[in-house]
Amino acid sequence: MRGPVGDDDLEKWESSAQTPEDHRTAAATLLAWADEPHPEDDVPPARLLSSAAWHLETAGDAEDALDLHRRAVEAPGEVVPDARCYLHGALLESGRVDEARELANEIRREAPADTDVYLVLGENYALAGDLTQAHRWLTMGAERLERTDRPINGIGVFHLLRARRRVRDSLGLPFDDLDALVPPIAQTQSEG
């Protein structure tokens, strides 16, 4: 039996994989670990599968990655913010827009409290070129902030509001109260 898997093991694979073949090797190892969990693993099978899927995506193996994302959704354990977010992105990337929309609607109906879910889905749509849906999801996340105790100055909140403002700028929408919570994009870039 193998030893327990921890976050350091995932980080090792992420940082050492440089070529498509390295990523495929990493994915195969992570998949084997997910298929035979150790009772003392710190990383649940769902995260191992999600990480393996990322490696396959990076290697250009989109269909195999999509299969692992589907498995991650069903596997034991938590993937932050939600394994379905990564499945959604893979569906959009593979052109399965209707299936991605159905999954997004399922997530929306659950009204997740974690605003990072809205950020990831919004960014998925932005990457797919659907800025209208990106704006919708990022705005739902911003509205969710008003109903949570999460501090407005948190880094995740900043990323959500920044992404929303970037998408609104791309859509040519007028400045609103939520846009006022983050500096203009050009100002942020010049400060970095």
Omega within 30 of 0 (cis) for the link into 81: yes
pTM of the model: 0.90
Give the three-state DSSP class for 146. coil
Residue 146 lies in a domain: yes
pLDDT-based confidence at 168, cuts 50/70/90? very high
pLDDT-based confidence at 154, cuts 50/70/90? low
Domain end residue (candidates: 30, 60, 79): 79
Q: Is pLDDT at 97 greater than 90 in this prediction?
A: yes
The DSSP secondary structure of 37-99, one letter per residue, reads --TT-SS-HHHHHHHHHHHHHHHT-HHHHHHHHHHHHHSSS--SS-HHHHHHHHHHHTT-HHH
Range of 134's domain? 109-192
Residue 102 lies in a domain: no
Q: Do 119 and 189 belong to one domain?
A: yes
Q: Do 19 and 70 belong to one domain?
A: yes
Q: Do 67 and 126 belong to one domain?
A: no
Average pLDDT over the chain reads 92
Q: Return the pLDDT at 145.
A: 84
Residue 95 lies in a domain: no
Q: Do 129 and 66 belong to one domain?
A: no
Distance CA 133, CA 10 (A): 32
CB 91 within 8 A of CB 66: yes
Q: Total structural domains in the chain? A: 2
% of the chain exceeding 70 in pLDDT: 93
Q: Is pLDDT at 59 greater than 60 in this prediction?
A: yes
Residue 44 lies in a domain: yes
Residue 100 lies in a domain: no
Averaged pLDDT, 124-129: 98
Q: Do 123 and 190 belong to one domain?
A: yes
